[in-house]
Each structure stands twice: as structure tokens, then as C-alpha cells.
Amino acid sequence: MTEIFDSSTPIYLQLVERINRQILRGELKPGDKLPSVREMGIQSGVNPNTVQRTYRELEGMKIVESKRGQGTFVTENQKILQDMREQLKQEEISHFVESMKAMGYSESEIVNGLEVFLSQIEGSESE
């Protein structure tokens, strides 16, 4: 299975992002083992060296711990995961607000639009 990567940013960073999201969404839980470097390389259609670089990066962020001979595991340190969650949230919000302002919307229009949107999808949830 070949994956799709945006060629404008390095693949290893995109992999970092993807794994972070998997953790945030609960697809990967604290203590879970990540696929081996080789395995992930095949899954992602990417060179194992790139995966290695990804895991090193995640380890630097304390999100992941490598245990020699056993594999790479999601940290059990809840605080770190919380911090990451918070940080990604801020980035997402910031990007959203920036885009809306770039389109000329005022802050109140932004909040209002969001609330209207949420109330709408509530009504059509299971259609």
C-alpha cells in the first residue's frame, strides 16, 4: 500500500504528524508498540531510514520511547500527551482563525459561524 505524501514538507515530518494524530485519536494508546521500522517502512511505502528519523524525532519529543531489542512504544507519561494534545489544538485553532480573518471575517462572525455550523450538524447527525 503506497501512501500519499505532500511533497512540500519532508516525509519524516509528515509521518510524525500522522503518528501524533493516531495517538490523539486513541488509535495508539499509551504503552502501545509502534510497528517496527521495517514494517512501518513497508506500510508507508517509505525508506526505513526515513522511519528511523521519524521515531528519533518522536523520541526527542518524549512522545515515544525506544527499548532496544523490543521496539518503540508510546509513552505512558500522560502529561506529555496532554501537552501535545493542547499544542496541536492551539495550532489548529490558530490556523483556523488566521484563515477566517484572511477572508475578512470578524471575530464575532467566526464564533457565530462555528456555533451555527455545530447546531446544524447536530440535527443531521445520523442521516
Query: What's the closest the beta carbon of residue 26 comes to a copy of itself, in angstroms?
Result: 6
User: What DSSP element (H or E) covers 48?
Assistant: helix 48-60
Query: What's the closest the beta carbon of residue 70 comes to a copy of itself, in angstroms?
Result: 20
What 3-state DSSP class applies to 71?
strand
Backbone angles phi, psi at 94, to 5 degrees: -60, -45
**Per-residue buried b or exposed e for 52-90, using 16+ beta carbons within 10 Å of the residue's own CB:** bbbbebbeeeebbbeeeeeebbbbeeeebbeebeeeeee
> Which positions lie near a copy of itself, rule CB under 8 A?
4, 6-8, 21, 24-26, 60, 85, 88-90, 92-94, 96-97, 99-100, 102-105, 107, 110-111, 113-115, 117-118, 121-122
User: x/- site string to DNA, residues 46 to 85, per CB under 7 A?
Assistant: xx-xx-xx-xx--x------xxxxxxx-------------
The residues of the shown chain that bind DNA, judged by CB under 7 A, are 4-5, 10-13, 34, 36-39, 46-47, 49-50, 52-53, 55-56, 59, 66-72
